Amino acid sequence: MKDQQMTKKKIHDLEQQETLACVDAMDENGVFHLFRKAAELFSSCMNDYLYVYDITNDTYYITERATERFDLPGSIFHHVVEGHRQFVYLDDLTMLQKDLDDLISGRKNKHNLRYRWMSIDREPVWINCQGRTFRMKDQNVFLMIGCINEIGEKTKADNVSGLLGEVSFEEQLHQFRGLPRCFIMRFGIDDFKNINESLGVNYGDHVIYDVANCITECLQPGQYVYRMPADEFVVFDLLSESRKEVKQLYDLIHCHIDDHIAEHEYEALYTVSCGVISYEDIDSLDYEQITKLSQFALTRAKERGKNQLNFFNGAEYETFVANRRMTRNLQRAVSKEYRGFELYFQPIVKTGTGEVFAAEALLRYRNEEGELIPPSRFIEQLEESGLIVPVGRWIIHAALQACVACQQYRPDFKVSINFSFVQILKSPIYDDLIGAIEKYHLRPESVIVELTESGYLESNKAVVDLWRKLKEYGVQVALDDFGTGYSNLMNISQMQPDILKIDREFTVKALRDDYAYRLLVQIIEMVHSLDIKEVVEGIEQEEELERIAVLGPDYIQGYFYSAPCSIPEFMDKFVCDQSAV
């Protein structure tokens, strides 16, 4: 006991001095075990991990709790430098080893490093490891003691908002396990990034503080607010009994924030959106699930225009999850050399003669169950994930190779490829296309590029540049989807496409409705007067063909001739068989 007290005093002295102190009258194991015991005792009162490294005997001790969090060889292990390889994130190993070398060789006596350890699930976790070395006088004892704390840890309380933090929310959820009714409201400050960027982070902190206060002032016993990461707050509402009451609470908070802004003549006007999940949406008060679903509800509130409340909707969430699954499958297909993607061809024929003029290349995806999926169910995911860039390149090569094969039978055959706006913005699509045309020794006029008619076409510089360069090179440019959503006749005269593609939606309308039919007559006339060709899409029946053909469009595309089919089938039916349409 006396020995231990002496040692403690010496250690205290050691802490006071910058120079290395000496501890005597203690055998080396005694010192190591004394520190170890002390660390064990402290450990029960703290979240951090304490360690003792006996450099002389190459032995390391860390408080037991660390073994539940990190992939350590044990609470005590030997061959310390080597042993770190198991649980230190590979990229950080060299940096750590250099620091340990300096400490072991005595070049320095203090250690303070931020790096990553691997968790038991083999996820990297940021830690801050601090420590110091010291030697014992007259003894061959060289130790390092220190403390490790997780720097990425969620906070229990937040000083900016003055509220409890995420960890406290999680703890409270556990306390209320099995509760029959509750609502979880996740608030987010709209466009908070703009506030920080335009007025500075201090101003942003001020806004967080005020929003926290406004929310708190609207709550009653049974309603608890927490600060979440970034600009979010959660209200755990055990009081409201219906959606109506939750909506009333949101309205109250919303008005209170508005009044507060008006009263203080704020420089920044801000609003809050809120996503709500109720006890009916969740199987249990599982934290991960609550975070996921409430975040989804909040994101939807923001997507719908911000400054509003949105209740979680299970069907929407299922669609979202299915889309995510689709994106993952598409990613896998791309990484496996485009396995699952297929290019279909649909004939575009000359009106009157019925001769095949070109084929439109249309993408298909066959999922792992062998089901053929149409583009309406995956093009958007390809665009959103950026996968349309590599897939678009794959399409160009597959389409041009098939065009070469078709031209052996029909030298004037053309292939028509759809380009998405995302490809134009995110990839050197002009170089990709021209490179492929040259690679396959095709004439530029053998290729048609289809761009969708939409509001931004004529005003976007990247699109306008591409359009001009393609035309200069001799590739034909087609304006696709004309007659759907945004259709602007001015575009046609301004952009001068080689071909205008009238969408099926408009064709169907023209076949049903006299006014639309007369409009189609006018469009075809006007387009011809501008020396532009047109394709009428979506002709399915013979009578439809007759009614449209009399208007004199240049080309027809539709199920009447053929639905899109595989390239071998297309070649069989429309290319190799010269008697075909």
Tell me, by CB under 6 A, how many residues bind ligand C2E.
23
Q: Does position 202 bind ligand C2E by CB under 6 A?
A: no
Upper half-sphere CA count for residue 195 (Cβ side, 13 Å): 20
Q: Return the one option of Mg ion, ligand C2E, none that residue 558 interacts with (CB less than 5 to 8 A, by type).
A: ligand C2E
Residue 375, interface with ligand C2E (CB under 6 A)?
yes
Shortest CB 171 distance to ligand C2E, Å: 49
**CB-side neighbour CA atoms (13 Å) of 67:** 10
Quote the least distance from Cβ 225 to ligand C2E, whole Å.
46
Shortest distance in whole angstroms from residue 395 CB to ligand C2E: 5
Pairing mode, strands 356-366 and 414-419: parallel
Phi, psi of 126 (to 5 degrees): -70, 135
Residue closer to Mg ion by CB (options 190, 480) is 480
Q: Give how many residues touch Mg ion by CB under 5 A.
A: 4
**Of residues 183, 501, 511, 520, which one binds Mg ion by CB under 5 A?**
501
Q: Find the shortest distance in angstroms from Cβ 208 to ligand C2E.
A: 42
Establish if 505 lies at the interface with ligand C2E (CB under 6 A): no
CA gyration radius for the chain? 35
Beta-strand pair 555-557/309-311: unpaired
Distance CA 48, CA 38 (A): 14
Per rule CB under 6 A, is residue 504 in the interface with ligand C2E? yes
- What residues numbered 529-558 form the site for ligand C2E, per CB under 6 A? 537-540, 557-558
DSSP result, 420-451: -HHHHHHS-HHHHHHHHHHHTT--GGGEEEEE
Specify the residue, 538 or 553, whose C-beta has the smaller distance to ligand C2E: 538
Site for Mg ion in 401-440 (CB under 5 A): 418
Report the nearest approach of ligand C2E to the CB of residue 484 (Å): 9
309-311 and 272-278 strand pairing: parallel
Told to check if 362 binds ligand C2E by CB under 6 A, we report: yes
CB nearer Mg ion, residue 418 or residue 454? 418
Torsion of Cα atoms, 79 then 84 then 85 then 89, to 10°: 180
Rank residues 190 and 450 by Cβ distance to Mg ion and give the closer one: 450
Q: Residue 210 is inside which H or E element, if any?
A: helix 201-218
Please choose, out of 151-159, 173-181, 334-342, 472-480, the segment that lies near Mg ion by the rule CB under 5 A.
Answer: 472-480
Cα–Cα nearest to 76, from 68, 85, 67: 67
- CB nearer Mg ion, residue 293 or residue 349: 349
Among 49, 564, 565, 571, binds ligand C2E (CB under 6 A): 564
**Contact partner, 511, from Mg ion, ligand C2E, none, Cβ < 5-8 Å per class:** none
Residue 557 contact partner, candidates Mg ion, ligand C2E, none, CB within 5 to 8 A by sort of partner = ligand C2E
Nearest to 54 by CA among 127, 110, 122, 135: 135
The DSSP 8-state label assigned to residue 279 in this structure reads T
Q: C-beta of 499: minimal distance to ligand C2E in Å?
A: 12
Residue with tokens 């699109």: 463
What amino acid is encoded at 282 in this protein?
Answer: I
Q: How far is the CB of 435 from ligand C2E (least distance, A)?
A: 18
CA distance to 20, 57, 79, 109, 523, per residue, from 144 (Å) = 12, 12, 15, 9, 84
Binds ligand C2E (CB under 6 A): choice among 290, 330, 359, 363: 363
Closest separation in Å from C-beta 341 to ligand C2E: 9
Dihedral class, residue 129 (left if φ above 0, else alpha if ψ from -120 to 50, else beta) = beta
What is the C-alpha to C-alpha distance for residues 33 and 528, in angstroms, rounded to an integer?
Answer: 94
* Angle of the 192-199 helix axis to the 201-218 helix axis, nearest 10: 140
Q: Which does 564 bind (CB under 5 to 8 A by kind): Mg ion, ligand C2E, none?
A: ligand C2E
Stretch that binds ligand C2E, among 64-72, 122-130, 372-380, 407-415 (CB under 6 A): 372-380
Could you tell which of Mg ion, ligand C2E, none binds residue 166, using a CB distance below 5 to 8 A set by kind? none
Residue 180, C-beta contacts closer than 8 angstroms, at least 6 positions apart: 279
| Footprint of ligand C2E (CB under 6 A) | 346, 361-363, 374-376, 379, 395, 418, 420, 450, 480-481, 504, 537-540, 557-559, 564
| Footprint of Mg ion (CB under 5 A) | 418, 450, 480, 501
